[in-house]
A and B are shown apart, each in its own frame.
Chain A
Amino acid sequence: MRRTELAIVGAGPAGLSAAVEAASAGVHVTLIDENRKPGGQLFKQIHKFFGSKEHYAGVRGFEIGMRLLEEVERLGVDVMLDSVVWGIFKEHTLGIIHDRRNILLRADKILLATGATENALAFPGWTLPGVMGAGAVQTMMNIHRVLPGRRAIMIGSGNVGLIVSYQLLQAGAQVIAVVEAAPRIGGYGVHASKLRRYGVPILTSTTIKEAGGKEEVERAVLVKLDGNWQQIPGTEEEHEVDLICLAVGLSPLAELAWMAGCRFEYIPELGGHVPIHNSNMETTVPGIYVAGDIAGVEEASTAMEEGKLAGIAIAESLGYLRSDEARDRKGEVLKRLSELRSGPFGRMRRRAKERLQRRYGVE
Chain B
Amino acid sequence: MNRQPVFPEWQGRDLDGMLAACQELLEDTDFPTVRRWREAGGKVVGHFQVYFPEEIAHAAGLLPFKVRGAPIEPKHADSHFGSYLCSILKSSLELALSGRVTLDLFVSHPICDAARNLAAVWGRNASHPCQILYLPQNAASPSARTYLRGEYARLRDVIASIAGREVTDERLRASIEIFNDNRLLLRQLYALKRETPWRVAAHEAYMLTAIAGLIPREEHNALLHAVLPLLEQREGRPQDRIRVVFEGGFCEQPPFDLIRAIGRSCYVVDDDLLIGLRWILSDVPLTGDPLDRLAEAYLEGSSYSPVQHDPRKPKEKMLLERVRAADARAVIVAAAKMCEPGLEEQVAYVHALDEARVPYFVTEFEEGMTSFDQLEIQLETFIENLLFAEEVAS
A, B in one complex: no
Name A's B-contacting residues (CB within 8 A).
none
